[in-house]
Amino acid sequence: MLRLYDCIVEQHDHGLVLLAGVICLLASYTAISLIVRAGRLAGLPRLAWLGSAALVTGGGVWSTHFIAMLAFAAEVPVGYDLPLTVASVAIAVTMSGLGLLAAIVGGAPVVGGAIVGVGIAAMHYAGMAALEVPAVRHWDPTFVTASIAIGLLGASAAIAGLERGRLGRPAAAGLLAVAICGLHFTGMAAFSLHADPRIALPERVMAPDWLAVAVAVVT
């Protein structure tokens, strides 16, 4: 826990961390509201609402991640691989959609929530793979495992609790936001960089300024 605290407090811009959290919570509440509406319908209208929920969930996960990455003080020049960055948002939306289909249409909310959790984890680590830095990366497997577990358990609890009537919208949204933010920052606590001047940034990478524009558009 101390390592996680130090990661958030000492290695991130506090204002951007707060912004990431607020956007995550708003996106989670909006997604939960759309899921509730979808559950009351059938046929194509249900699928349309679920598609909207998948876009909001996946977009919220992606925006939260990259706002938090803009907050990350890497202490080395950074860039982002464009294909992987685009792939990461596609992963988040697709996995969210599959999870919600399993939960609402397939009647398996625990499984559906777990699929959403897998999507959060896949998006996070695809986003980290997109990070280009002149440094050697190191990962702590304990924190990586913990981050994935947080995403799976949090998303499963949120979706299953909502579907079974045990949670209201605010509680389900809160759990989903905890799953997203908890996975991200625990995953960041697993991550460390050691600068290496022998490693050069690729010539074609997306600069943080352009990433900020992309995040604003998605949000």
d(CA 157, CA 85) in angstroms, rounded, equals 28
Which among 54, 73, 39, 32 is positioned nearest to 178, based on CA atoms?
32
Q: What is the mean pLDDT of the chain?
A: 91
81 sits in which H/E element = none
- Reported as a single tens digit per residue, the pLDDT across 96-152 is 999 999 999 999 999 999 999 999 999 999 999 999 888 889 999 999 999 999 999
pLDDT band for position 1 (50/70/90)? low
pLDDT tens for each residue of 171-189: 999 999 999 999 999 999 9
pTM for the predicted model, two decimal places: 0.92
Token couple for 97? 């959609």
pLDDT for the residue numbered 166: 83
Count the Cβ atoms, other than its own, within 10 Å of residue 15. Answer: 9
Return d(Cα 177, Cα 192) in angstroms, integer: 24
The confidence band for 39, taking pLDDT boundaries of 50, 70 and 90, is confident
